[in-house]
Amino acid sequence: MDSSNDEALDIIITNVVATFRVRCHLNLRTIALEGNNVIYKPDCGKVLMKLRKPKITASIWSSGKIICTGATSEDDAKLGARRLARVLQKLGFRVRFSAFKVVNVLAVCSMPFSIALIDFTVNNRPIASYEPELHPAATYRIKHIKATVQVFSTGSITVTGPNVQTVATAVEQVYPLLFECRKPLRK
């Protein structure tokens, strides 16, 4: 298992996606004209606002729903969301921060060994799927915790799940399966 190894595996969270609402209708034109660091996309009907401090990109819709991406941790995401709401408040809208929810967490992890993808797929038949023509990684979907693990032949894996805890569980679960299909010693 992960914890019984000599070196613990580093799970690096690269992206946290969260959504929240500001409970009021937003005028996208005003935001586009008066806000800093904004990109207006009228064909999509949204405004992209990038924040510097927690490095975050937010898609803002006129209904008041906002999707916030690019954060590196759940707290960061919440902080960035609040900052964003503050910016909108300063622009003159009557915002109310509500319904904050972390929707997706993406993490990467690197195994100290290479993996034989074909063996991995054959061992875990219906749950793992590998289509070399479409994508170079094998996807392993863990249904009950709703996480997806993409396994590359170099040994790096990317895990996506609804929260950080799920991601950690997913790595724990998939590690023994990967260990079985490792390739002896990197060249």
Among 30, 154, 169, 173, binds another protein (CB under 8 A): 154
Residues 12, 55, 101, 131: which binds another protein (CB under 8 A)?
Answer: 131
By C-beta, is 121 or 163 nearer to another protein? 121
We find the least distance from the C-beta atom of residue 136 to another protein, in angstroms, to be 5
Q: Which of 153, 166, 169, 173 binds another protein (CB under 8 A)?
A: 153
Quick one: which of 156, 149, 56, 161 has its CA closest to 115? 156
The footprint of another protein on this chain (CB under 8 A) covers a number of residues equal to 19
From the list 19-27, 34-42, 80-88, 121-129, the region that binds another protein by CB under 8 A is 121-129
Q: How far is the CB of 137 from another protein (least distance, A)?
A: 9
Q: Rule CB under 8 A: is residue 169 a binding residue for another protein?
A: no
Residues at the contact surface with another protein, assessed by CB under 8 A:
114, 116-118, 121-122, 125-126, 129-134, 136, 152-154, 183
